[in-house]
Amino acid sequence: MQCALKFACSAAPPSSASIAPLLFSNTHSKKKKLRNGCSIRAELSDDNDPLLQAAINSASLHPLFIDPYAGCFVSTHTQMDMETKAKQYCIATKFIDDKLLSTVNHMDGLKQVVLLSDGMDTRPYRLNWPSSTIMFDISPLRVFQKAAEKLDGVGAKIPQRCLFLHVPLETPNIQETLVTKGFNGTRPSVWAIQGLPLMTLVSFEEILLTVSGMAMKGCLFFGELPAWLAETGIGNKSSMKKWINNIFMSYGFKVDMISYNEVAKRLGKVVKPGDYEKILFVAEQLRCSDDQMETWRKELQRVDEDGDEE
């Protein structure tokens, strides 16, 4: 029976004490590959899988939007509350939803969306995607498979004339896998992150490196990040904005930090000050993608060769 409850899609990352580090390795050059590893025990049940439990436990009730599918992830004894953290998380989710749709609807032709998630992101099913949208979900394989089973059980469907593809977080080369599945670095794309397990500052920098290498100039990358990333990089919160600007700019992005309170006001909501350790951001790619650079390199080479022949 299809769930018809009002749920905010879960994507809050687990604590560092509950998961082994997820490491990425990549460079801007196509000759060097993106690698990542997940040092979780070989045998995990649903009850002791930290990634799966973190994704399930972060589902929360809120009327900002209707998610008819997230309820199938939550057990009947799960307590739903409306504490400050849940409210802010739902506000962030609504902000990301709206930003994704407004950006995609302004793309011509093929529309590429890359979701960096915890594996239980219901956006591919519940949002009103325009036709010719191809969505790539990068998330832990085990969690994604469990979620896919449950979503299939409640009749969740991808919108017609859209395509949804999964890229396992554990894949040895995420960038290459995206290309193999059809991602085109010479076409516009939009990237959103919420819930992807981030355990180290290095892992986040590798994500920035990946997006920077694949997203065309002018493309957007936005979402929600754990605030401890900035604290790890600078040692104190007072310079958080400066640190965010510096690290994004070093990978070719112009970034703006977004106020949860301002977003809440626009939605007609009020958020009380609370201990919500997240950063909401929107970044614009200022560099050309690797594919763009390669295309231009070949064109210049062709022009030079034509000149030599003349």
pLDDT digits (tens, 9 = 90+) for 194-233: 999 988 999 999 999 999 999 999 999 999 999 888 876 6
Distance CA 280, CA 95 (A): 9
* Residue 181 scores a pLDDT above 60: yes
Cα 170 to Cα 36, 113, 234, 283, 285: the distances in Å are 6, 20, 29, 26, 26
Q: What are the tokens at 302?
A: 């062709």
Which residues lie below 8 Å from residue 194, measured CB to CB, with a gap of 6+?
A: 11, 92, 93, 96, 116, 117, 121, 223, 224
Model-level pTM? 0.77
pLDDT digits (tens, 9 = 90+) for 234-259: 555 558 888 899 999 999 999 999 99
Nearest alpha carbon to residue 70 among 119, 149, 6:
6
In a domain, residue 309? The reply is no
Which residues lie below 8 Å from residue 248, measured CB to CB, with a gap of 6+?
A: 208, 254, 255, 281, 283
CATH code of the domain in which 132 resides: 3.40.50.150
Tell me the one-letter amino acid at 266.
Answer: R
Query: How deeply is 6 buried, as exposed, middle or buried, from its count of CB atoms within 10 A (0-12, 13-18, 19+)?
Result: middle
In a domain, residue 185? The reply is yes
Return the number of other C-beta atoms located less than 10 Å from residue 30's C-beta.
Answer: 15
286: domain range?
50-59+81-296
In a domain, residue 19? The reply is no
Tell me the one-letter amino acid at 195.
Answer: G
Contact 262, 233 (CB under 8 A): no
For the stretch 263-283, what's the b/e string if a residue is b when 16 or more beta carbons lie within 10 angstroms of its beta carbon?
bbeebebebeeeebebbbbbb
In a domain, residue 140? The reply is yes
Contact 119, 197 (CB under 8 A): no
In a domain, residue 34? The reply is no
What's the chain's average pLDDT? 78
In a domain, residue 14? The reply is no
Distance CA 3, CA 143 (A): 20
In a domain, residue 55? The reply is yes
* Residue 10 scores a pLDDT above 70: no
In a domain, residue 260? The reply is yes
pLDDT of 71? 62
Q: How confident is the model at residue 12 (pLDDT cuts 50, 70, 90)?
A: very low
Contact 143, 195 (CB under 8 A): no
Distance CA 197, CA 23 (A): 10
pLDDT of 68? 67
* Share of residues in the chain with pLDDT > 90 (%): 51
Number of domains making up the chain:
1
Q: What are the tokens at 136?
A: 């790539």
DSSP 8-state assignment for residue 57: H
